[in-house]
Structure 1
């Protein structure tokens, strides 16, 4: 029999997910690669953007991915992500 999922656990999980997304967007906007690596990403990341960008699924490190993402907005004076 499956374990029950309490409303308390649901709300805690939801808050943790929201906090992580906000941390990620703040890391992008502040261009803080260290925050993305230390506070958001797991040490190893599985990426599968095949349907959007072509290519094959791959695994990379959090540091490598955070640096790549930071370069996406390198030319912008500022960014603002809203959640």
Structure 2
């Protein structure tokens, strides 16, 4: 077992923070290919049941990027903000192995607009992401999101903005 040194610990924290930040930013910038290649693990678990009902599901990272692209396809605009990212890594030291996965919690806020929605064009929500990231063998930042659970704390606006959006993977 190799020791987990302070430099590796700090680099892991920075890389995990970056991959979580990229998730929201790439989604808002419509960089769905980058979500699949630079943010999501090859296999992942997703749970938006606290907002959309339904059940958690498993799929590939590429399929999750397509799912988000299709879910947001009917929206006119949106913005997601992820902040207060708390990363759960072991403290570095002798005898501490290099972690293969880590947990993270983050606050999140989303605002979506669909001008043609029945009942009004806006919906906002806030809550927390409960995430797991895994270390991959990919070059550059090796960390990828393997589990994404949204826990909605508050909702404001028109739930009709989400009409047709379900907590399930895209077809095909």
Is residue 17 from structure 1 mapped to residue 12 from structure 2 by the alignment? no
**Structure 1 segments (4+ residues) deviating >3 Å:** 2-5, 71-74
Q: Calculate the aligned-residue CA RMSD, in Å.
A: 2.6
Residues 23, 40 of structure 1: 8 Å contact kept:
yes
Is residue 40 from structure 1 mapped to residue 39 from structure 2 by the alignment? yes
Give TM-score scaled by structure 1 length: 0.70
Q: What is the CA distance between 1:7 and its match in structure 2?
A: 2.0
Mapped to 1, the partners of 2:62 and 2:3 lie a distance apart of 37
Which residue of 1 is the match for residue 77 of structure 2?
A: 77
- Structure with the largest fraction of helix: 1
Which residues of structure 2 form unaligned runs of 5+? 84-172
Alignment of 1:41-56 (within 5 A): 41-47=40-46, 49=47, 52=50, 53-55=53-55
Residues 29, 79 of structure 1: 8 Å contact kept:
yes
* Count of residue pairs the alignment pairs up: 80
- Structure with the largest fraction of strand: 2
Give TM-score scaled by structure 2 length: 0.39
Which residues of structure 1 form unaligned runs of 5+? none
**Structure index of larger Rg:** 2
Give the secondary-structure state (helix, strand or coil) at the position aligned to 1:5: coil
